[in-house]
């Protein structure tokens, strides 16, 4: 179950990465990274569209999809970042960025443990496991998260056709951005 949620978050980040790679002006590497995070904070239409597409692929009820969408919108709006450094070496650049996000990793881990220890709570009337019941439980726990965590990311960019383009973000950095990183 945790893998499903992490996959969903990774898909959102991967598709969000494409938002920042459209560098139509002479932006600096720092400006490209700022645009990347700003797209999330401002809930750009591209980000919300990609979120909706990712949610459609999950086994969510209409209510769960709506609730999860609100959890992620809050996460994106409340994500903060601070550029710490920019190093340019020819056509390569690294922008060191500190982010602060909701810490979903503990809640997801605790939900998985709870599911293992209380399997019957997630069974339907016939006694069969019902993923919908677990999804409702887990989303309700995500709604309650208030603890935040800070991470430092070393985001790399490549200059292509005289424009800085954000390189693919690593799986580790993706999980940090989405608050699901387990150290």
User: So where are the chain's domains?
Assistant: 2-177
Where does the pLDDT of residue 9 fall: very low under 50, low under 70, confident under 90, or very high at 90 and above? low
For residue 31, pLDDT over 50 is answered with yes
How far is residue 107's CA from residue 105's CA, in Å, rounded to a whole number? 6
pLDDT in tens, 34-75: 999 999 999 999 889 988 998 999 989 999 999 999 999 999
Instruction: State yes or no: pLDDT of 14 exceeds 70.
Output: no
pTM (two decimals): 0.82
Lowest mean pLDDT: which of 29-33, 41-45, 54-58, 120-124? 54-58
Q: Is the pLDDT of residue 112 over 70?
A: yes
**Can you give the pLDDT at residue 153?**
98
For residue 161, the SS3 value is: coil
pLDDT reported for residue 3 = 55
Model confidence at 4: pLDDT above 80: no
> Percent of the chain having pLDDT more than 90?
78
Please give the pLDDT value at position 15. Answer: 46
DSSP string for 63-107? HHHHHHHHHHHHHHHH-EEEEEEEEEETTEEEEEEEEEEE--HHH
């Amino acid at each position: 179950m945790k893998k499903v949620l992490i996959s969903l978050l990774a898909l959102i980040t991967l598709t969000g990465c494409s938002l920042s790679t459209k560098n139509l002006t002479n932006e600096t590497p720092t400006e490209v990274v700022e645009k990347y995070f700003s797209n999330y904070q401002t809930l750009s239409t591209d980000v919300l569209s990609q979120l909706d597409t990712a949610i459609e692929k999950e086994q969510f009820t209409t209510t769960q999809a709506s609730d999860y969408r609100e959890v992620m919108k809050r996460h994106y709006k409340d994500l903060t970042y601070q550029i710490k450094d920019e190093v340019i070496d020819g056509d390569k650049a690294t922008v060191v960025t500190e982010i602060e996000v909701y810490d979903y990793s503990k809640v997801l881990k605790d939900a998985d443990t709870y599911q293992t220890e209380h399997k019957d709570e997630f069974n339907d009337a016939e006694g069969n496991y019902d993923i919908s019941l677990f999804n409702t439980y887990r989303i309700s726990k995500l709604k309650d998260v208030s603890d935040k965590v800070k991470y430092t990311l070393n985001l790399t960019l490549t200059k292509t056709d005289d424009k800085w383009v954000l390189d693919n973000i690593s799986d580790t950095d993706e999980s940090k951005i989405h608050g699901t990183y387990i150290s």
